[in-house]
Structure 1
Amino acid sequence: MSKPKVAVIGTGGTIASIGKGPLDILDYGANNSMLEVDKIVELFPEVHEVADVLVVPFRAIPSPSMGFAEWKELVLKIDEVAAANPDLAGFVVTHGTASLEETAYVLHLTVKTELPVVVIGSQRPSSALSTDAGFNLVNGIRTAASPQARGMGVMTLLNDEIQSAREVTKTSTYRMQTFRSPDFGCLGHADGDAVAFYRKPLRRHAPDTEFDIRTMDSLPRVDIVYAYCGSDGTAARAFIEAGAKGIVSAGFAPGFCGPGDEGPLKEAVETGITVVQSSRAGSGRTFKSTKLKENGFLIADNLNPQKARILLAFALSVTSDPAEIERIFATY
């Protein structure tokens, strides 16, 4: 039986990093050594046992350097590779874990291919004694090749766990089990004998979305105001002055901004800036309280602040109508 064909696109990050030795699992970035994706695949030849691997060079950068330009180029690259390889079963994108959830969510909102897209990374560099890079790469490829992965939107795969890009977040600095979906858990597992799915994401996702990053030159500016005791609105006023089109309030749970931030954010709404209320708790829905209605704030549902920022930016790329933006947050 022929093996499925899976494209592996490399963007850098810890999985591409080489430390000073096998025990260098924290400060490996100081070694300034990052591999292109073809070299990563060479380190773990076991990938060829599970698929016919098509290596696609892209970037070798730390993941905090990812942004709109890289996201757009990545979507175009996926388009290009899918068109050139009609026998392709799916995609794997290797990525640094620091911003992995953000890139995965952007792809979840913007890729137009029907093929599965699985974003993977590692908590330890490929040079480490106990690196998770190899198994995450193998399992990411197995997941992308699975027929059951179709229709799931963009997923992540680390620590044998398959997560939805909308829900997953990094919850720990160093631990292997860092990627979690706090409210609903993982979609399934990539075990030694099988890739097993147990649920499907219900919210609208790629490829059936109203957002087309291909036609965009940039995203509208959206900033995040983080609530803390004593916050006095300085950050909110600075973002307004900087030209923000939208602001996400990473508020106190269950969803309200700091007293000092409320005035500037309410004034922002009055000037046409969209304010969306999220929570700094990292889990759970915000709700349309009386105060939020009075201030004209919208709600982020259960999206964390960094993902609410992404969805708000894409929403503002197609509409400035608060009712339509509210619909988008209830849809995606």
Structure 2
Amino acid sequence: MTALPKVAFIGTGGTLSSVGRDGLDILDYTATGERLEAEEILARIPETRAVAEVVAVRYRAVTSPGVGFSDWRTLVLLCERLAREHPDLAGIVIGHGTATLEETAYALSLTLTVDLPVVLVGSQRPISALSSDAGLNLVAALRTAAAPDSRGRGVLVVLNDEIQAAREVTKTSVARMQTFRTPDFGVLGQVDGPHVRYYRRAERRHAPGTPFDIRDLDALPRVDIAYSHADADGTAVRAFVQAGARGIVSAGLAPGMTTPAEAEALARAVEAGLAVVQSTRAGSGVVPPTRRLAELGILSADNLTPQKARILLALALTVTRDPAALAEIFSVY
């Protein structure tokens, strides 16, 4: 009998771990405050034992709005320790709430030190719900982490039988099952029962081997997001400068622009020494590095969403403040 691959499962909480009042509680389940730890999730989904030898790793079961930099740093160190303690480890799965799953996935894709497949997984319905997607999502994530073809692809996100790249994927719906999508490029692959199939690769660089080492950092440089809208007068930008931001990401109007008043406030921020990056609230498409942006001293976020541009800018500011070097980082990662 062939031995099953060994996969570590880190449970950070989220909907996948949540227990509602009953099987029909699919919206207000967080009100119970009950969330399962990693080993308790695995006990509820015994099918996981058929696809991998799963090492349950307790973390802290929280809702994903409470996940941020300190967790990213701790997860980097935890993955490093697991790889060291289990040299036969095939991969790592991290259970995560869907609200900030894409941000954790992208942060880890830029900062991990391990050369193992790391897969983030969540669910749209709590583990207690009728027709919950938690079980199959976790099984698919374990299969993906254990698949040899998953190596060298960066951090992956698996839900709804689809494999997405951490840099590219975003949550697009509050409650629908097919919420995690890659608008510009589509999925990397699919999980059909026991079959993990890939059809393309993400081209941008990823960990390990990036210059972004957060293991000894207490915090990232403050970077805020200014969301543009009709009549925006730059008040948010000025407030972020006053609050001590070292960088600002503008979630601009769909062409990658802002209102004139907001553009003036962003230009003043650049003059004050802040790094400013222009993204778009559209959720898709590249912000072109136009002459207008160059004249204002504002960099392009390429096709990163505002929330991911914020992560990359904060990490980039740990290694450089040179505008040309920052622009190169956004073109590479």
**Take 1:185 and 1:275, find their aligned partners in 2: how far apart are those partners?**
29
The amino acid of 2:5's aligned partner reads P
SS of 2:92's equivalent? strand
| 1:53-202 aligned within 5 A | 53-202=54-203
| 1:1-332 aligned within 5 A | 1-332=2-333
Flag as ranges the 4+ runs of structure 1 deviating above 3 A. Answer: none
Question: Residue by residue, what CA displacement relative to the aligned partner does 1:41-97 show, whole Å, maximum 9, x if unpaired?
Answer: 110000000000000001100101011111111110001111000000000000000
Cα displacement (A) at 1:254: 1.8
**Take 1:175 and 1:259, find their aligned partners in 2: how far apart are those partners?**
37
Question: Residue by residue, what CA displacement relative to the aligned partner does 1:9-40 show, whole Å, maximum 9, x if unpaired?
Answer: 01000001000000000000111111111111
Cα displacement (A) at 1:230: 1.2
**Take 2:330 and 2:263, find their aligned partners in 1: how far apart are those partners?**
22
SS of 1:55's equivalent? strand
- Mean CA deviation greater in 184-193 or 168-177: 184-193
SS of 1:90's equivalent? strand
Cα displacement (A) at 1:257: 1.6
The answer to whether the 8 Å contact 2:16/2:123 transfers is: yes
The amino acid of 1:328's aligned partner reads I
The amino acid of 2:107's aligned partner reads V
SS of 1:319's equivalent? coil
The amino acid of 1:305's aligned partner reads P
**Take 1:16 and 1:78, find their aligned partners in 2: how far apart are those partners?**
20
Question: Residue by residue, what CA displacement relative to the aligned partner does 1:146-195 show, whole Å, maximum 9, x if unpaired?
Answer: 00000000000000000000000000000000000111001000101410
**Take 1:59 and 1:156, find their aligned partners in 2: how far apart are those partners?**
20
How many residues get paired? 332
SS of 2:59's equivalent? coil
Cα displacement (A) at 1:261: 0.8
What TM-score does the superposition give when structure 1 sets the normalisation length?
Answer: 0.99
**Take 1:274 and 1:50, find their aligned partners in 2: how far apart are those partners?**
47
The amino acid of 1:9's aligned partner reads I
Structure 1 unaligned residues grouped into runs of 5+: none
The amino acid of 1:76's aligned partner reads L
Cα displacement (A) at 1:215: 2.4
**Take 2:290 and 2:83, find their aligned partners in 1: how far apart are those partners?**
45
Cα displacement (A) at 1:259: 2.0
- Mean CA deviation greater in 286-295 or 9-18: 286-295
- Mean CA deviation greater in 117-126 or 257-266: 257-266
**Take 1:186 and 1:259, find their aligned partners in 2: how far apart are those partners?**
37
Structure 2 unaligned residues grouped into runs of 5+: none
Cα displacement (A) at 1:260: 2.0
CA RMSD of aligned residues (A): 0.6
Question: Residue by residue, what CA displacement relative to the aligned partner does 1:173-231 show, whole Å, maximum 9, x if unpaired?
Answer: 00000000111001000101410001111110011211101121110000000010111
**Take 1:280 and 1:45, find their aligned partners in 2: how far apart are those partners?**
42
